[in-house]
Amino acid sequence: MSVGRPQIYLEHVRMDLIKLKESIVKHEGKRLKPYKDTVGKLTIGVGRNLDDVGITYDECDYMLNNDIQRVFREARGQDWWDAVSDNDARSRAMVELLFNVGGATLAKFKHALAALRNRDYGRAADEFLDSLWAKQVGARAITITKMIRNGTD
């Protein structure tokens, strides 16, 4: 084993972590979207069995943080962003809405987004509430639209 290489100690056994990871990736493969493995288990990454192992709370938080950063970057590129960026509650509401429905679906809320661009927050909230999305998510829609309407939690 070369000096300075990452090592792991398991039950007093020293091993080269880089070689171990390379071998596991070589044999398991690396997939960034869920798939069914050879015995039908839902799997992702490098052999992570989601059916039996799942993910840890730390992994869940790590993914959430990455997803929030991705959605925030997407929100900042939208033509409605200037209308909400100076208000914490409104900007959070719109990032959460984008997180929830995705960009393609949010773009279909043409009247709500037009009202938002015009800083007509009451009308924007009403337009979001008058949608299938609001019926599907219930209390979440009430919370988000209240934040858009009032600029407060």
Q: What are phi and psi of 10, to 5 degrees?
A: -125, 115
Model-level pTM greater than 0.75?
yes
| Structure tokens, 54 | 């799942």
Q: What is the pLDDT, as a whole number, of residue 1?
A: 45
The confidence score (pLDDT) of residue 95 equals 98
CB 10 within 8 A of CB 22: no
Taking only the tens of pLDDT, the chain with its 153 residues reads 445 666 666 666 777 888 889 999 999 999 999 999 999 999 999 999 999 999 999 999 999 999 999 999 999 999 999 999 999 999 999 999 999 999 999 999 999 999 999 999 999 999 999 999 999 999 999 999 999 999 999
Distance (Å, whole) CA 105 – CA 112: 12
Beta-carbon contacts of 8 under 8 Å, excluding residues fewer than 6 positions away, are 14, 15, 17, 20
Q: Which domains does the chain have, with CATH numbers?
A: 7-49 (no CATH), 57-150 (1.10.530.40)
| Nearest CA among 83, 113, 111, 120 for reference residue 97 | 113
Tokens of 112: 């709500």
Kindly report the number of other CB atoms within 10 A of residue 75's CB atom. Answer: 21
**pLDDT score at 101:** 98
- Contact predicate 98/80, CB 8 Å: no
End-to-end alpha carbon distance in the chain: 56
Closest CA to 149 of 113, 130, 123: 123
